[in-house]
Amino acid sequence: MALTKSEWSRTYPRGALRGVLSDAAKTVPEAKRTPSLMACLAEKILALAADGQENPIDLRRRAIEKVRESCPDCCACHGLQAARNSGHSQEKL
């Protein structure tokens, strides 16, 4: 069952979702944080939240995984792969 607008707002305050996006972006080198990468991460975070993912840590981790899975040939995703492979990622996947 889909959440109503008021249920959505109580469950996922705008600031909390922004925090998840900010934390996810920190796993990528600053030079690789393109607008397309940020949009892709935001889209994945919102989709996962809409599916009922509530834990911010799991939400961040799953969003990063979804970006990597959904567009492996994209330059923005390459930024995620590079961060993961270079050991600069704060994410433990």
Q: What is the pLDDT of residues 68-88, one digit of tens each?
A: 887 665 555 554 554 455 444
* pLDDT, averaged in runs of 10, over the chain (93 residues): 59 79 89 87 89 89 88 55 47 35
The domain locations on the chain are 15-86
Q: What separation in angstroms does the CA of 20 have from each of 1, 41, 56, 63, 73?
A: 24, 10, 6, 9, 24
The span from the CA of 76 to the CA of 80, in Å, is 7
